[in-house]
Structure 1
Amino acid sequence: MLHDLVVSLGPWSWWVLGILLLAAELIVPGFFLVWIGAAAVVVGALSLLLWEASLWSWQLQLLLFAILSVVFVLAGRRFYSGRGHSSDEPLLNRRGESLVGRTATLHEPIAEGRGRIRLDDTWWSVMGPNLPAGTQVRVVSAAGRDLVVEAA
């Protein structure tokens, strides 16, 4: 049945596939199928020009479609990747990194490289050199959920 449909539509079958993929982009979340749909439309446009050529076999059409799909997806990803967009609050969802430079008093001593401090309303696990409780420390970096400190 599908074979008969493709044969009866001829070069327009690529256009139908492209339009179906572009329409599916409206239903499926993300921005991915639009590039594959665009590749199908390009192959459809070439098919309209080259349909009668002996060189334009279904194998070549599928190969070109696969190559164009990959190229369009990679180009679209690079174009819309969001690089270069600066934020007015770059540390919004990186709370540990936003604490770099702050000072605090050790609540629990750093023993074997681990201790605890309180900053604002939160207790933080810290890593650093062994220091007694009550020592002022400065946050130098964030490592996952832990803060790296040194004596202030």
Structure 2
Amino acid sequence: MGEAVGAYGWWILGVLLLVGELALPGVYLLFLGIGAMVVGANALVGLDLSWQSQLLGFVVVSGVAALLGHRRYGQRAKAPSGEPLNDRTARLVGRRARVSEAIRDGRGRVAVEDGWWNAEGPDLPVGAGVVVTAAKGSVLIVSALDREGSPKP
């Protein structure tokens, strides 16, 4: 009877952890729930394991599940093209732009793609061509382009 309570206890713990995974953000309780369900299944089929062995099995199975999960799902979190996912200004580095508000005393605005951005760089008139060389927060660092469209030294 005590073994059945232990097996069902692991199953109940596993189900609670899996339900908790649905309620909480992130993928943390999933692997613990898998570990508890595996240990519960082993105890249910009649493996006579001490509580220490069950606890060790839970830790090992949860750890292996977490490693496999990280290998599988950790790769999906990265941008497929290698571009920063949530850093829009960093994605603009290397793009060409036009000065939309003259850069005076090192500050102005540039038009890049479909937006206008605050910029820092050499003093330039409206319409001058620039290339984005870096990003500092939401400010783009720009360099002037020569008449052929190449960056000036």
TM-score for both structures, normalised by structure 1: 0.66
1:73–1:110 distance in 2 versus 1, CA, 3 Å: farther
Instruction: Report which stretch shifted further, 93-102 or 57-66.
Output: 93-102
Aligned equivalent of 1:78, options 71, 76, 82: 71
- Aligned partner of 1:3 in structure 2 is none
In 2, are the aligned partners of 1:100 and 1:142 still within 8 Å (CA)? no
Corresponding letter in the other structure for 1:14: W
Give the Cα–Cα distance (whole angstroms) in 1 for the partners of residues 5 and 42 of structure 2.
Answer: 15
- Aligned partner of 2:124 in structure 1 is 133
TM-score for both structures, normalised by structure 2: 0.66
Instruction: Point out where structure 2 has 5 or more consecutive residues left out of the alignment.
Output: 146-153
Percent identity of equivalent pairs: 36
1:83 offset after TM fit, Å?
5.1
Instruction: Report which stretch shifted further, 26-35 or 61-70.
Output: 26-35
Instruction: Report which stretch shifted further, 40-49 or 23-32.
Output: 23-32
Give the Cα–Cα distance (whole angstroms) in 1 for the partners of residues 105 and 68 of structure 2.
Answer: 50
Instruction: Point out where structure 1 has 5 or more consecutive residues left out of the alignment.
Output: 1-5
Matched, 1:107 2:140: no
* Alignment size in residue pairs: 136
1:99 offset after TM fit, Å?
6.5
1:24-44 superposed Cα distances (whole Å, 9 cap, x missing partner): 333334333222111001111
What RMSD in Å do the two structures reach over aligned CA positions? Answer: 3.3
Give the Cα–Cα distance (whole angstroms) in 2 for the partners of residues 92 and 30 of structure 1.
Answer: 18
Give the Cα–Cα distance (whole angstroms) in 2 for the partners of residues 25 and 95 of structure 1.
Answer: 31
- Aligned partner of 1:63 in structure 2 is 56
